[in-house]
């Protein structure tokens, strides 16, 4: 197939008159008909559409009857569409709208981040006003980078915006080396205890295993002496594992009114699009409900194309009061769990050595007292 047939060509037939003279004259005029085949009383062929009027003029001169059999090429397929005023009106509206929409976030590209990093980055950027559907300015991009850095999750961050696409690049924050995390004021004991083992990273260790220490006593100093007696100052860093007792008291009612879920749920939506946020009509919020927020970017059904907007869905799960009855064993187990949670909140690295607990029931209440013997880092 000739390349001209892809754009605009005419397939024709020529009969009567001097058809051979017509072919000779067409070749001399540079019209270059192609695909010429013999037909009864003449021939058939093709030529470029813009050359056909000149070929028709030569045909009249040689008394040859020329007829178009069909029109080929993309031009003739598009020409009916170009005659439609609605198409031009749509383009007139669509093109400026498309250019206008490019100043808003259509898509946040976090492909360079892990799944967890991407979720945290999107949450931080949402707080900075850089969610899908929001207008983008240089000030917002700078504020977004600043927010990512000060979130503590990233050591480096860069935001680039072009044609509706927000590219998020960041590097995860690295933990500080122990020596850099040290203090210049020395480390003191958080509580009393017996030292079990020590680990010095920087500074001078002031205690040794087996030693009894009191709360507030110095554990690691910031100065050490060289062989010649010269004092050298260094940040105090390290760990001192000591054995000590930790006590806790809990009160758990045997009968308690709690909020239970009924299974009913109401939803409310807030949409951010083209730099504006508006709320959709929703049912009245129930009086007692647990609230769960979810953010997502809607897509075109079946096509999977993300729309340039973001939706905040507020789910309110209805609750109603119910009376909960506990046995003494259940109340004791709950109190024990609460005490363990408090222990690990205060001493995350605690190792259990022993436990002594006491449970008494006074009326409708269980009083729980426990004393744990633990080993943990007492550096404060």
Model confidence pLDDT, tens digit, residues 173-206: 876 655 445 566 788 999 999 999 999 988 888 9
Residue 86, domain member (yes or no) = no
- Claim to verify: residue 330 and residue 301 sit in the same structural domain: no
Q: What is the pLDDT of residue 214?
A: 94
What number is the average pLDDT over the span 57-78? Answer: 86
What number is the average pLDDT over the span 34-44? Answer: 86
Residue 178, domain member (yes or no) = no
- pLDDT one-digit tens code per residue, 281-304: 888 888 788 898 888 888 877 666
Q: What is the pLDDT of residue 2?
A: 61
- The residue among 322, 314, 266, 268 whose CA lies nearest residue 291 is 314
Residue 337, domain member (yes or no) = yes
Among residues 127, 142, 172, the one where a domain terminates is: 172
Among residues 303, 320, 337, the one where a domain terminates is: 320
Residue 204, domain member (yes or no) = yes
% of the chain surpassing 90 pLDDT: 29
Which one has a higher pLDDT value, 40 or 244? Answer: 244
Residue 146, domain member (yes or no) = yes
Are the C-beta atoms of residues 198 and 237 closer than 8 Å to each other? no
Q: What is the pLDDT of residue 73?
A: 83
- Claim to verify: residue 74 and residue 8 sit in the same structural domain: yes
- Claim to verify: residue 71 and residue 18 sit in the same structural domain: yes
- C-alpha to C-alpha distances, 210 to 103, 196, 243, nearest whole angstrom: 68, 6, 10
For residue 51 the two structure tokens come to: 């050359």
Residue 101, domain member (yes or no) = no
- pLDDT one-digit tens code per residue, 114-157: 888 888 999 999 888 888 888 888 898 999 999 999 888 888 99
For the chain, how many structural domains are there in total? 5
- Claim to verify: residue 314 and residue 342 sit in the same structural domain: no
- pLDDT one-digit tens code per residue, 209-239: 999 999 999 998 887 767 776 778 888 889 9
- Claim to verify: residue 69 and residue 13 sit in the same structural domain: yes
- Claim to verify: residue 209 and residue 275 sit in the same structural domain: no
- pLDDT one-digit tens code per residue, 305-320: 777 888 999 999 998 8
Are the C-beta atoms of residues 37 and 10 closer than 8 Å to each other? no
- Which range of residues forms the domain containing residue 277? 263-320
- Claim to verify: residue 63 and residue 24 sit in the same structural domain: yes
Looking up residue 58, the CATH number of its domain turns out to be 3.30.70
What number is the average pLDDT over the span 256-262? Answer: 88
Q: What are phi and psi of 121, to 5 degrees?
A: -65, -45
- Claim to verify: residue 274 and residue 314 sit in the same structural domain: yes
Residue 98, domain member (yes or no) = no
Confidence of residue 348 (pLDDT cuts 50, 70, 90): very high
- Claim to verify: residue 302 and residue 336 sit in the same structural domain: no
Residue 112, domain member (yes or no) = yes
Q: What is the rounded average pLDDT for all residues in the chain?
A: 86
Residue 185, SS3 per DSSP:
coil
């Amino acid at each position: 197939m000739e390349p001209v047939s892809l754009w605009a060509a005419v397939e024709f037939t020529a009969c009567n008159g001097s058809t051979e003279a017509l072919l000779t004259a067409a070749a001399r005029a540079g019209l270059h008909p192609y695909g010429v085949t013999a037909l009864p009383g003449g021939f058939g062929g093709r030529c470029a559409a813009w050359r056909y009027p000149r070929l028709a003029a030569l045909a009249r001169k040689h008394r040859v009857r020329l007829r178009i059999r069909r029109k080929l090429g993309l031009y003739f397929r598009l020409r009916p569409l170009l005659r439609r005023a609605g198409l031009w009106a749509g383009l007139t509206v669509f093109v400026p709208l498309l250019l206008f929409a490019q100043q808003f976030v259509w898509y946040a590209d976090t492909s360079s981040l892990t799944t967890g990093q991407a979720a945290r980055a999107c949450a931080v950027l949402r707080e900075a006003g850089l969610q899908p559907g929001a207008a983008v300015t240089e000030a917002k991009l700078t504020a977004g980078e600043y927010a990512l850095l000060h979130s503590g999750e990233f050591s480096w961050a860069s935001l680039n915006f072009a044609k509706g696409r927000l590219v998020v690049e960041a590097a995860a924050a690295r933990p500080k080396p122990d020596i850099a995390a040290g203090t210049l004021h020395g480390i003191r004991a958080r509580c009393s205890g017996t030292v079990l083992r020590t680990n010095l990273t920087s500074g001078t260790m002031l205690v040794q295993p087996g030693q009894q220490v009191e709360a507030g006593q110095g554990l690691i100093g910031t100065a050490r002496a060289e062989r010649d007696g010269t004092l050298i100052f260094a940040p105090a860093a390290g760990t001192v594992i000591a054995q000590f007792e930790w006590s806790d008291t809990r009160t758990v009612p045997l009968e308690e009114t709690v909020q239970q879920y009924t299974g009913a749920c109401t939803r409310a939506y807030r949409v951010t699009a083209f730099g504006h946020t508006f709320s959709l009509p929703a049912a009245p919020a129930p009086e007692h409900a647990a609230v769960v927020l979810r953010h997502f970017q809607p897509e075109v059904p079946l096509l999977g194309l993300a729309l340039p907007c973001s939706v905040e869905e507020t789910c309110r799960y209805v609750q109603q009061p119910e009376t909960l009855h506990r046995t003494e064993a259940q109340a004791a187990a709950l109190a024990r769990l609460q005490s363990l949670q408090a222990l690990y909140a205060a001493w995350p690295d605690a190792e259990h050595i022993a436990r002594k607990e006491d449970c008494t029931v006074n009326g409708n209440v269980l009083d729980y007292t426990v004393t744990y013997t633990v080993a943990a880092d007492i550096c404060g």
